Amino acid sequence: MPDTLNIIPLPQSVKMGEGFFNCKGIPPVKGDGIFSREIDVFRQQLEACGIPAWIPAGQGAETGIVCRKVETLKDEAYRLKIAREKIILEASSGAGMYHGLQSLRQLFLSGGEGGGKTEGGFALPCADVEDYPRFPWRGLMLDCSRNFYSKNFVKKIIDAISLHHLSIFHWHLTDDQGWRFPVDAYPLLTEIGSKRYDKRRWRYTGGFYTKDDIREVVAYAAARHVEVVPEVDFPGHASSILAPYPGLGCTGGPYGVEDRFGIFEDVLCAGNDAIFDLIEKVFDTLAELFPSKWVHIGGDEVLYNRWNECPKCRKRMEETGLKNSRELQSWITVKLVQMLGERGKTAIGWDEILEDTPAYKLPPQAAVMSWRGRKGGAEAAERGHSVVMSPNTDGCYLDYQPVNDPDEPGQLGTSGIKQLYNMNAVDAGMSAEEASRIIGGQANLWTELVYAARIAEYMIFPRICALAETVWTEKKDFDDFARRLPLHQARLDKLDLIQYRGPLA
Ligand code: ACM
Ligand code: ZN
């Protein structure tokens, strides 16, 4: 008998029993009607990997998976009992049931758990599992602006992260290098802003997701209990807005959709009210397409050179009693948070949005995503904001190399899998109240140098498995994770994911 179930993320509690549940394919799944969608997705997922449905011999054979609603379990929690004659899964919500089914999917993807595998069949070791997440926000960000990825690839990644109980897909949809969704009143955002002349390929590249594409991705994610949080980056990283609408910049342009990477001086002109007309329509579109309560407003890396010199921006500062351009950014941030509030949405932004002013304080409902290390997250928690920890100092930046080796892809630094595994979203010195404001953690894949979906897979897997465990459970043991990982990577192979397999630094 194996002495544990090799699931990632590690369940909160596993008690091994005696013997195995044996089957030759996906056994019948019976359950409360409320779980029919989760059960359908589970079947489709296994069938897509060549694991067929299996009907046990004998009329009315009482075997299979039973899915039951149990009100007393917490929202995302599940209970899994694998016995010789049947498997019982209990949850109070679709999310809990889905997580339980994903743990089972992992066992099926490895033919049971070894040891008891039968010829042409599956042997799942008998066990009792109690499981629930430590944090609600367990996220992956994919930058689809620097490199445009197909709708089908986005769905593939969402399905794969849901195997690890991740709850958030943060979709970075706009940046200097491309605008990726249509806004009816501003058709040039996609007509011009979604394409750039790519000097490496000597041709225009790019693309955008149609409204139907987005609805399809959101529904696909919802069926997997993954919430899609869109990001539109304001007021910096705006070349793909300025190229089609040069009147929205301080100098009037001309501007181009950037093919270079970096931080650019041209940002939205804070003295021009027309930028808010555009932002209103953008937020209306996001509200139409994304059911999530969250909208990510970016706010990172804004250079102030243009604002400092622009007569319109200087007039705005005078009229509004702002001392400098940094205060002008706070003024914009407060407006964006309010505009989202009017649409029933809550803003989240990169930690620069904390750099506010007494007159234009960051509204308390706005959440902060800490990326420049952990400092922003600690300060935000102290000031009463919800926080997602995603520090580039702790392995959360998947655009960094997986190991410091010139043969590996990646830039700017190293994000080793062990470093990411050891990331704790809560700082050791936080009070209980501050700690309660940490809603979770996230890893980010920026894609300046990630020219193809297959390379993105390599950058994401298996590092995201470490992130998944670090935000799911407090019972962390890297050596044990490293022991489970090769078996888990064999599962990811069956999902046709390219993976890093080098040293676990
Ligand atoms: C960021 O990495 N610029 C948020
Ligand atoms: Zn200006």
399 given a catalytic annotation = no
Say which residue the tokens 């490895």 belong to.
Answer: 110
Q: To which H or E segment does residue 387 belong?
A: strand 387-389
pLDDT of 122 > 60? The answer is yes
- Among 172, 296, 446, 448, say which to mutate for ligand 1: greatest number of ligand atoms within 8 Å of CB: 446
Catalytically annotated residue among 198, 216, 259, 301: 301
**Ligand lying closest to the C-alpha of residue 248:** 2
Q: Using the mean position of ligand 1's atoms as its centre, give its distance from the Cα of residue 199 in Å.
A: 24
d(CA 189, CA 193): 5
175 given a catalytic annotation = yes
Q: pLDDT by residue (tens digit) across 366-387? A: 999 999 999 999 999 999 999 9
301 given a catalytic annotation = yes
pLDDT band at 115, cuts 50/70/90? very low
Catalytically annotated residue among 175, 233, 327, 434: 175
- Give the strand pairing for 174-175 and 294-298: unpaired
Q: Which amino acid is at 67?
A: C
- Give the strand pairing for 178-179 and 174-175: antiparallel
Q: Using the mean position of ligand 2's atoms as its centre, give its distance from the Cα of residue 311 in Å.
A: 7
pLDDT band at 117, cuts 50/70/90? low
pLDDT score recorded for residue 2 = 72
d(CA 90, CA 176): 47
Q: CB–CB of 114/2 below 8 Å?
A: yes
Ligand 1 atom with least separation from CA of 371: 4
Biggest distance spanned by C-alpha atoms of the chain: 83
- Read out DSSP for 87-115? EEEEESSHHHHHHHHHHHHHHHHTTBSSS
- Among 141, 145, 300, say which to mutate for ligand 1: greatest number of ligand atoms within 8 Å of CB: 300
Q: What percent of the chain has pLDDT over 70?
A: 97
Q: pLDDT by residue (tens digit) across 352-366? A: 999 999 999 999 999
pLDDT score recorded for residue 242 = 98
pLDDT score recorded for residue 52 = 86
Q: Mean pLDDT, the chain, as a whole number?
A: 95
pLDDT score recorded for residue 450 = 97
Ligand 1 atom with least separation from CA of 397: 2
